[in-house]
Amino acid sequence: MCLNSAVSQGQCRSFAKRKCLPSLEENGFSFSGQLNNAVVLEGDKLDISLTFHEGKTNRLMVCSQPILGDVSYRLMDKNRTQLFDSQSSDVNYFDFKVESTQQLILEITVPEPETTHGILHEGCICVLQGYK
């Protein structure tokens, strides 16, 4: 099982570099080196704590493999007050500034499976941070 997990994580890193990183770096943004990835199943929900720094325009990108469907995410402060909801956007990134360096919560939701055959699809979700 550990070997399978290591292989899956390697595939996620490769997916992030090939499919996600080029989009993150558009419009003058630089990759911060912050990459979180996870292998998830349909119907999963996860929270990730991320640090963002003042004085820069931050770009948060959530990139997922198409087999997972329309993955959505919300960015919230430490009190879980919503700052951004991807369902109101037609892109998979959010550009913003913070008044002070702080940790924010990213809540990611993978849609429930559309079929009832009992087999869940598995895929990668990659969270990248950039700045300019």
Q: What is the pLDDT of residues 10-34, one digit of tens each?
A: 688 899 999 999 999 999 999 999 8
Rounded Cα distance between 77 and 97, Å, is 13
Q: What is the pLDDT of residues 83-105, one digit of tens each?
A: 999 998 888 999 999 999 999 99
Give 63's contacts (C-beta < 8 A, 6+ positions apart): 15, 16, 19, 20, 23, 92, 125, 126, 127, 128
Q: What is the pLDDT of residues 33-42, one digit of tens each?
A: 989 999 999 9
Domain borders along the chain are: 2-131
DSSP state of 58: E
Q: Quick check: 40 and 122 in contact, CB under 8 A?
A: yes
Determine the residue type at 92. Answer: N
Average pLDDT over every residue of 50-63: 94
* pLDDT value, residue 8: 54
Which architecture does CATH list for 2-131? Sandwich (2.60)
Residues recorded for the chain: 132
